[in-house]
Amino acid sequence: MTTANITFGQQVKNYLSLIRFSHTVFALPFAMIGFTLAVVFEHNSFEWSIFIKVLLCMVFARTAAMAFNRYLDRKFDALNPRTAKREIPAGIIKPQHALLFTIINSLLFIITTLFINTTTFYLSAVALFVILFYSYTKRFTALCHIVLGIGLSLSPIGAYLAVTGKFELLPILFSLTVLTWVSGFDIIYALQDEEFDKSQKLRSIPAALGKRNALTVSNALHFCSACFVIYAGIHGGFHWIYWLGAAVFISLLIYQHMLVKPDDLSKVGIAFGNTNGIASIIFAVFTIISFFIS
């Protein structure tokens, strides 16, 4: 292998690390739920071209959002011992390159929606604004977690719109599930930076309310998420396999709150990454299977 190949491979690895590509597992399964729901329940034919475009939109949008977040937060990341080794503060990726990366992915996202349908194209600017605007919110509101939840919640309804071009209640219920689920576990993740956020005058639920109260808010959001999952199953009249997936999803919501305590944050990483990633995949698999046998 040549030096050039090694350098290119390392650059790819650095950018994948910059955007935490592995965290795509949070929203992508719900996008697949929205896509499959549109195909099966609305009796639309499966089109590989639309499916691939939906995947590309997910990748481009999330990449733009994460790269912009890292670019905008680079000075705070450099000051925070937990994040100081991230690619931009560590000097691995230059800030201007991260910004250019954001712009390129934003343009690719909008262009891809243009080739889906007019509804997705017209709404692409709104979606892009939400996911990029999130990075500013921690500077002025503790509700930044909710804005992040809104950004990721666009995945199931966006995938549904890509196929049908219209809004319906079921995909909206799955979007509300994502909104409350993501907002809840982002609060858990933010517990690690409570003191740092206070010192830098950054806003978050833990910084505003303290760890114990923040966990109470997270619990309430996850309770709402469980309610949306249950209501979606009732409204859709789904097969019992859906309820098995729902039971696993809700159980893992409960489990992550058993892992994290106000005075013990040692398992935040497991609760945030592993538990939620598994919950998303299992729920999506069982839900999609149930669509075909309902």
* Partners of 264 in the β-ladder: 261
Q: How many CB atoms are located within 10 Å of the residue 79 CB?
A: 12
The pLDDT assigned to 272 comes to 81
Burial class (CB in 10 A: 0-12, 13-18, 19+), 136: middle
Phi–psi pair at 182, nearest 5 degrees: -65, -45
The pLDDT assigned to 294 comes to 62
Closest CA to 161 of 126, 117, 199: 117
The pLDDT assigned to 169 comes to 96
The pLDDT assigned to 23 comes to 64
Side chain identity at residue 205, one-letter code? I
Digits of tens for pLDDT over the chain (294 positions)?
A: 443 444 777 888 888 778 776 666 788 999 999 999 999 988 899 999 999 999 999 999 999 999 999 999 999 999 999 999 999 999 999 999 999 999 999 999 999 999 999 999 999 999 999 999 999 999 999 999 999 999 999 999 999 999 999 999 999 999 999 999 999 999 999 999 999 999 999 999 999 999 999 999 999 999 999 999 999 999 999 999 999 999 999 999 999 999 999 999 999 988 888 899 999 999 999 999 999 986
The pLDDT assigned to 12 comes to 84
CATH number, span 8-293: 1.10.357.140
Domain boundaries, the chain: 8-293
- Judge contact between 220 and 257, C-beta under 8 A: no
The pLDDT assigned to 285 comes to 97
| Residue 217: alpha-carbon gap to chain centroid | 19
Side-chain-side CA neighbours of 5 within 13 Å: the count stands at: 2
- Judge contact between 5 and 54, C-beta under 8 A: no
